[in-house]
Amino acid sequence: MLIRTTWTLNVTKPTLLPRSYGLELIKQVHQRLGIEIGSEQIPSTTCSGILGNMAPSGDFLTVYPNEYYQLSLCGLRNSESKAIASFNLINNLVDSTLDLLGASFHILDRVDETTSYESLYHSLVADEPESSFWFALTFITPTAFAQDQIRLPLPVPALMFHSWLERWNHFAPVYLGSSDLIDYLAAVVAVSQHKIQTRRVMIHQGKVTGFTGEVSLNILSRADPLLANVANLLIHYAQFAGTGMKTRLGMGQTKIKEKDQK
């Protein structure tokens, strides 16, 4: 089972939130879910952090009334997905709020999107559908890739596919392939357009630079049809797994739009 749960939030008055709120949010949510943080080499959950119009000022962010904010949480393994499906984000039952470092967010709505590894694999690969050859990816939160001691804030196809494939092979019952598959996909998938910018995000006590914005990927027509469908599968999986490093802590949130959705 895979799940992406999205809550819509707001506040009733201008509220200050520390820029470094992300770690406390993840600790609080995972503690209540009964999921241990730090024990996994590949995280079984991803989190968006709180998304919406916030004004930075020094070490704080100002959250505004009359604005709507969103928080998404994804489970990449059956046990975590089931825990998220039954999870109540509210920790103050009196007024239905999420209380976080002095800020009280009212919970307005919840949307659950569920699927499974088997369903994705059969619909996008095993049933041999017609491949999509163009995708527009939106990187909602800062995205970067860890290469030894270097953090690269650029949408390199080989690094994106490595990120998605590593998670898929770790959690899915269907093994897709190794580094040879990444090498092949990197040779037949190209960035055709992008409109990105870099942004720094507070992680723990330090800052990480990542890119946000839109990136268009083209799968070349000479690509093997089966492997083109594997590329389709991994791109769709990114909406749950995120992209790159520190996806549990709010980085790498990814959405896709296919050509017929332009």
**For domain 2-115, is the CATH number 1.10.10.60?**
no
Q: What is the pLDDT of residues 38-87, one digit of tens each?
A: 778 899 999 999 999 999 998 899 999 999 999 999 999 999 999 999 99
- Report pTM: 0.95
Average pLDDT over every residue of 193-217 = 93
pLDDT in tens, 110-167: 999 999 999 999 999 999 999 999 999 999 999 999 988 899 999 999 999 999 999 9
The whole-number pLDDT of residue 205 equals 72
How many Å apart are CA 193 and CA 235, to the nearest integer?
16
Q: Same fold for the domain at 2-115 and the one at 121-261?
A: yes
Nearest Cα to 229, choosing from 98, 112, 121? 121
- For 260, residues 6+ apart whose C-beta sits below 8 A from its C-beta are none
Per-residue pLDDT, 149: 83
Domain boundaries, the chain: 2-115, 121-261
Q: Does domain 121-261 have CATH number 3.30.70.1900?
A: yes
pLDDT at residue 177 greater than cutoff 60: yes
Q: Output the pLDDT for position 140.
A: 97
- pLDDT confidence tier of residue 244, bands split at 50, 70 and 90: very high
Q: What angle do CA 234, 123, 71 make, to 5 degrees?
A: 55
